[in-house]
Every structure is written in C-alpha cells, then in structure tokens.
Structure 1
C-alpha cells in the first residue's frame, strides 16, 4: 500500500510517503512560512524523488487538527482534493496523536500540545503500553494553569512534546518541578512519516465530501462574526416586539 501523508497543523510542514509500511521519503520544514505556497511543491518533489506517480497512491493521510486554523484547513483541503481527484480513500488522524508518537517507550504520561494563544493550549493525554501509544483523554483546548493543576495530581512523570515548548517551558517547570520531562528539540516536532505509518491500518473517513477539520474552537474571526450576528438578531427581534 502506497500512502502519502500531509501534516500542516502547526508551523511545521511535513509530507511523507510509505510503500508497504516501509518509508520511501519525507520532507519537513520547521519555519513559520506560508504552507499554501510550499505544500504542493513539496509533494511534487517527494513524488518525483521517490519515482512515485500520483496514480500509484492507494490512500492519503492528513492531520485533522487541532492546531493552526489556517494550517489545518490548508492540509485538509489539499488532502481532500487529491483523494477526490485520484478516487482513493482519505485517512484523518489527530495532530495530538501524531505528536504523541514521539513519546513511544516513555514510562509515564505523554502530553503533546500546541500553543493556542492567550495562555491556552491544544492538548491531549496519552500513555505508552508495550510500545504502542494509547489515548487517555480526548483532544481539548485548556488554559495552561488548569492543565498543570490536573497533571500535578497524576502519579508519575509527564513528558511534554511540542514545537511551542519554549513558550511555556518555564511555567511548566515552575509548577511541576521534577515531574516535568522534556525531550530533545526534535522530539517536539511532528513526523509525517509516523502519520503515513499510522494511516496504513486506520479506517478512512466515511464521507470524503462532508469531512471537516477538528478545530475544537471556532476561528477567532468566525466566532466574532457569529457573536455579532446573534447580537443583531436579538436587536431585530426586540424591535419587532
């Protein structure tokens, strides 16, 4: 099975290709640049360098979020378009589950996270059992202080994995002390190769056209628009009375 993976859920952009569960290639960039300009060229380059034709792909894998609103949208739009054009299945996985794979074999709690601004985090909770990552909580958006309070009540060390580590590391260490564990910088970066491997044995999305990202929260602009619309409707209703 040939699987092309796409991850743009953070400022890290990655695409990877596996054939029969063996990695063929991977392109990852860690710079905060426009994914919409770089993703398609990266996919073309990867296919060209691995001598793979688009019509040889068996499925597309993509991270569904949570994460960067724009980044998630770009990745999913690209993945859905390719899957539809090629007539192949689309597999979607949590960006938190993908990042948690870097904690494989860690004996303790695994907490992947992305910064969500205003001291909030997109995060999840996982453990490793016999070399396999297992979910313990659903992906959520939490205030950093609330998350640290919850983790402090857990037994055992906590491994934090994130490309946004430097933003929150000091506060995490202040609250959790020796309970907090941080790996090497590379451990905090999602790997598209892992995404491709995971997608081999996952069920595709049931309806390609109705599939939407898991933003967890509305984009700020949309939230403001809905609030303004609700206010206008309330005002109109009051005038009608």
Structure 2
C-alpha cells in the first residue's frame, strides 16, 4: 500500500462506478446485511443472523461474500477481482450496530486502500424497497428510536434514485429531511395523513411507530442492496469520505446521554 491512507487523493481516482466491484454493508437493523455489486448490479447478498450480535457475524459474512472474487464474478473480466468501492449505512439506527458497521467499513477502506461512501440508513431501506417493488413511487420509512422517539424519512423514487448519468449536484445519500422526533407527534401526523389512511402511501421499517396499521408494512428487503444503489450514486457524484473522518450518523443522543441531561 502506498500513499497516506488519511489523504483521499492517494486513493484510486480513476474509479469507473458503473464497472466497479462494490461491497455494501448495513448493520443498523436487527438483521444486518452485506451485498456485493459488480457492474452496478447486485450479484450476491447475505443477511446476518438476527439472533446473534453483528460483531460476531459481520466478518464471517463479508468473507463469504468476497470469496466470490476468487473466481469469475458475473459480468467481470478474468478471475483476478478486487473490491474498488465500499459503501456503508452510517445511520441513524442502533447505536451498537452503527459502531460495528462503520468501524468495519473504515477498517476495510483503510486496509484495502479503496474509496468509501456513506449513505443514510432510512434512505437505504427505501432504496431497497424501490428496487424490489418497481410499482412503488413513494415510501415512508420509520424506525423505533426508543425512549418515545422515532426516526422518520419520506422518499420519492425519482428523487432518491435518479439515473446515474443525470445531474447529481442537488442529490445526497444523506438527505437532510431524515429526522428524529417524538413518536406521539409522528403518529398524530399519520392519523391526519390522507395518503397513509387511504393506503396509497407505502410504509416500511419497525412495527411500533405505525401502531395498529403496522401489518401494512412492506415485506423486508435486503437493505444492503439499497446501500449499494445509493453508494453507486454517491460515488458517481464524488461524495467520498476518508475512513479516518467517517463517524456514525446518530441524529440523537444516546440513552445514557439523555438520562444525564435529564438529571443534570
């Protein structure tokens, strides 16, 4: 390895996004996942065991996924393959899961000397659902943020997943409108949302925020595929991040910090 790994200019700059090998990682949900992209298409995806901690399974799953690189990958040339891009769901989500996923992605980027991009976790869930359900154009994603709070994001297919060759100057894999707010407030707005009440708005995420209508949630998709789709766009735009500078996107204080603030 040459160059300073903290200097992004020392990483390969001639990345052909559409014809690259990308490793996408997501560990923010109860069952995290990993996906391998070749030539801008997912060629393999694996979900982590939801009954075990991500820290105990993530390395094994990644090793299993990239073992495909020892032989020809669909759509690739020859048998000598190398990861060229790593994408990570940086949050919001589980504090422990975020730390595990972000640390894993940072370590791999540093060790393999490859470009790294970070994407929003809720946006990744939406992107995975858009990919799995071509007829869906709008989706509301909500995750339980605990202590009476919810992470919320509402996404349009055309806005979230524009063509990779389009003008991406106003696009971001970390949208500003993803937020955390009181769950009671979120549910109150849902009760007044005509598109939600009529069933025309697709929903995904955790059951708790949606209350009695949680059974309307879309079937889970492989969120790492959503990470990879957004990662391709982020790379095409040039939104790379140094592995030394990437931090989890918590959007809220930890439980310990919130309790300290209440008693302080």
Kindly indicate whether residue 194 of structure 2 is the aligned counterpart of residue 159 of structure 1.
Answer: no
2:142 match: 113
For the residues of structure 1 that align with 2:257 and 2:111, how far apart are their CA atoms? 29
Match of 1:101 among 119, 127, 130: 127
Equivalent residue, structure 1, for 2:26:
7
Q: RMSD over aligned Cα, in angstroms?
A: 3.0
Distance, in Å, in 2 between the alignment partners of 1:145 and 1:226 is 21
Determine if contact 1:10/1:114 at 8 Å carries over to the other structure: no
Which of 71, 76, 83 aligns to 2:97? It is 71
What does 1:13-32 correspond to in 2, within 5 Å? 13-29=32-48, 31-32=50-51
Report deviation, 1:94: 0.2
2 CA distance for matches of 1:169 and 1:150? Answer: 11
Pairing partner for 1:170 from 183, 206, 211? 211
2:189 corresponds in structure 1 to: 150
The 10-residue stretch of structure 1 (18-27 or 103-112) with the greater mean CA deviation from structure 2? 103-112
Unaligned runs of 5+ in 2: 1-19, 72-78, 163-170
Q: 1:50 to 1:113 in 2, by over 3 A?
A: farther
> How far apart in 1 are the matches of 2:104 and 2:113?
14
Match of 2:118 in 1: 92
198-207 or 45-54: bigger deviation:
45-54
Cα deviation for residue 118 of structure 1 reads 2.8
Residue 73 and residue 33 in structure 1: after superposition, are their counterparts in 2 closer, same or farther (change >3 A)?
same
Relative to total residues, which structure has the larger strand share, 1 or 2?
1
- The number of aligned residues is 218
1:187-234: per-residue Cα shift (whole Å, max 9, x none)? xx4421232232122134343312211101122224445777xx5xxx
Contact 1:35/1:71, CA 8 A, preserved across alignment: yes
Q: Secondary structure of the residue that 1:138 maps to in structure 2?
A: coil
Give 1:158 shift.
2.7
Confirm or deny: 8 A CA contact 1:3 1:17 kept in the other structure: yes
Could you tell me how far apart the structure 2 residues matched to 1:131 and 1:206 are? 20
Contact 1:12 / 1:190 at 8 angstroms: preserved in 2?
Answer: no
The 1:161–1:15 alpha-carbon spacing in structure 2 relative to 1, beyond 3 Å, is same
Q: Cα offset for 1:6?
A: 0.5
C-alpha separation in 2, matches of 1:103 and 1:22 = 15
- In 2 relative to 1, CA 147–137 (structure 1 residues): closer, same or farther, beyond 3 Å? farther
